[in-house]
């Protein structure tokens, strides 16, 4: 099993190209099931989750091809994938495929919307909380799908098609909004989605669906209105840049010092996190096509944060920010409101010398003068990269095990960091 070895102490300087967003690419790929025409997606990151979803889509009979590199492209600039769901031969997503990635459960929406039937295993994925699918199922039921649970599978049927309705989510859910949005595009009549997720990834999906012929208004607000259409067509669409990758590298620079330009990204996608970084002592400025991050000379200052749905501070940056706060000049409080079990990285950061106390949904981080390298174990995707950030400044050598978590969400991580001065390498086997 691969490991990553880091020798800390080097500042980061240079340019890091930001990849396409995994959390946008996955629902966009799933949306190809809504049409028999070809959907071409550009700027798709090369990640394990992308490969896993392609296997699931192939199981349905979806044809896909990956275009060769064009002039100026590299392994870090995304790929172009064409998906054609003209001849879907099966509407069952088996456990052995869905269990590896939670987002794959979302295939239930386009399958039942287009074909009237779907049988999808209950999902798996990172162990960062229960993350139930009840709100996703509720959305489909509101649209007229009959739902049954059979031996660990959700069976959704709508032989006469889905019918537009009002969907009121009791809490903000990105997955639920994705599912409701895709299903409503082919439902008869009007669907109103209230308390909808406002994340940029939802907007990206809506913009692609509109290109395919969907009638959607209000994406990016808490109320989305969808007028159902009888069919959708193919289109070409580029995946938005990854705001979580952007925030991760920004925090790495704030941690190590240095001067980095994050290219091909949008500051408005993570303004809350950039504001917090500014309070912590980083200089953040927009560039043409990206963001420049430098740490000022005053050290890292403690900042209290609370995770919230967009436009608040993202839960997917909580672990990375905690790593940064381990070196702050004082005590910070980090409150996690999205996932109830997303502090599993605390004990691994403690192995590097971090001083962190847990109290319910809050972590209190007492900044220390220095961290020391040690063997650590990744527990989930974002926890993995928090250990990388800590290892970049830890004295001596840090070895991170179970880095397959990293491969699910960060494209060419070691290459991007090494090119900017980090002493980091992957150990195979």
Indicate which residues carry an active-site annotation.
Answer: 126
Q: Is 110 known as a binding-site position?
A: no
Q: Is 133 known as a binding-site position?
A: yes
Q: Is 308 known as a binding-site position?
A: no
Q: How far is CA 200 from CA 12, 77, 156, 175, in A?
A: 28, 20, 28, 13
Nearest to 228 by CA among 189, 257, 267: 189
Q: Is 303 known as a binding-site position?
A: no
CA angle 47/325/128 to nearest 5° reads: 45
Concatenated DSSP letters of 18-61: PPBPHHHHHHHHHHGGG-SSEEEEEEE---HHHHHHHHHHHHHT
Q: Is 102 known as a binding-site position?
A: yes
Biggest CA pair distance of the chain = 65
262 in Cβ contact with 246 (< 8 Å): yes
Classify residue 68 by burial, with Cβ atoms within 10 Å: 0-12, 13-18, 19+: exposed
Q: Is 341 known as a binding-site position?
A: no
Quickly tell me which residue has 């209190």 as its tokens.
364
Tell me the pairing of strands 117-121 and 79-84.
unpaired
Give the CA radius of gyration of the chain. Answer: 22
17 in Cβ contact with 77 (< 8 Å): yes
Q: Is 131 known as a binding-site position?
A: yes
Q: Is 22 known as a binding-site position?
A: yes
Q: Is 132 known as a binding-site position?
A: yes
Concatenated DSSP letters of 233-289: --EEEEPPB-HHHHHHHHHHHHHH-EEEEEES--GGGGHHHHHHHHHHTEEEEEETT
Tell me the pairing of strands 12-17 and 397-401.
unpaired
What span, in angstroms and rounded, lies between the C-alpha atoms of 343 and 268?
Answer: 27
Q: Is 302 known as a binding-site position?
A: no
What span, in angstroms and rounded, lies between the C-alpha atoms of 8 and 70?
Answer: 36
112 in Cβ contact with 162 (< 8 Å): yes
Beta carbons within 8 Å of 164's beta carbon, 6+ residues apart: 143, 184, 187, 188, 189, 190, 191, 226, 227, 228
In the three-class reduction of DSSP (H, G, I as helix; E, B as strand; rest coil), residue 363 is classed as strand
Residues placed in the known binding site for phosphoenolpyruvate: 22-23
Instruction: List, as residue ranges, the binding site for UDP-N-acetyl-alpha-D-glucosamine.
Output: 102, 131-135, 316, 338
Annotated binding site: 22-23, 102, 131-135, 316, 338
């Amino acid at each position: 099993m691969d490991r990553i070895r880091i020798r800390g102490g080097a500042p980061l300087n240079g340019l890091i190209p930001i990849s396409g967003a995994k959390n946008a690419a996955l629902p966009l790929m799933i949306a190809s099931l809504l049409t028999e025409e070809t959907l071409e997606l550009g700027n798709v990151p090369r990640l394990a989750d992308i490969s896993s979803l392609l296997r699931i889509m192939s199981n349905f009979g979806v044809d896909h091809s990956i275009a060769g590199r064009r002039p100026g492209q590299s392994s870090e600039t995304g790929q172009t994938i064409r998906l054609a769901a003209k001849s879907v031969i099966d509407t069952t997503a088996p456990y052995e495929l869905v269990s590896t990635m939670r987002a794959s459960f979302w295939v239930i929406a386009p399958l039942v919307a287009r074909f009237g039937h779907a049988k999808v295993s209950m999902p798996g994925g990172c162990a960062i909380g229960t993350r139930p699918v009840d709100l996703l199922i509720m959305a489909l039921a509101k649209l007229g799908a009959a739902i049954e649970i059979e031996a660990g599978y959700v069976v959704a049927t709508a032989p006469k098609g889905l019918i537009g309705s009002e969907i009121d989510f009791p809490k903000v859910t990105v997955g639920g909004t994705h599912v409701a949005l895709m299903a409503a595009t082919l439902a008869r009549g009007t669907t109103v989605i209230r308390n909808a997720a406002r994340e940029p990834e939802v907007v990206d999906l809506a913009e692609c669906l509109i290109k395919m012929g969907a009638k959607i208004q209000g994406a990016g607000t808490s109320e989305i209105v969808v007028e159902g259409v009888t069919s959708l067509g193919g289109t070409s669409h580029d995946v938005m840049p990854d705001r979580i990758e952007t925030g991760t590298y920004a925090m790495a620079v704030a941690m190590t010092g240095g001067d980095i330009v994050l290219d091909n990204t949008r500051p408005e996608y993570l303004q809350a996190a950039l504001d917090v970084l500014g309070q912590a002592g980083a200089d953040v400025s927009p560039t043409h096509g990206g963001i420049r991050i430098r740490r000022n000379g005053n050290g890292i200052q403690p900042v209290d944060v609370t995770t919230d749905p967009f436009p608040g501070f993202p839960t997917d940056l909580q672990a990375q920010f905690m790593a940064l706060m381990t070196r702050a000049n004082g005590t910070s409080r980090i409150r996690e409101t999205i996932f109830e079990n997303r502090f599993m990285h605390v004990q691994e950061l403690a192995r590097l010398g971090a001083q962190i106390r847990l109290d319910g949904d809050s972590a209190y981080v007492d900044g220390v003068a220095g961290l020391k390298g040690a063997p650590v174990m990744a527990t989930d995707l974002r926890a993995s990269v928090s250990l990388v950030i800590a290892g970049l400044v830890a004295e001596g050598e840090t070895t991170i095990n179970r880095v397959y978590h990293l491969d699910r969400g960060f494209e060419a991580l070691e290459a991007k960091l090494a090119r900017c001065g980090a002493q980091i390498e992957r150990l195979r086997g």
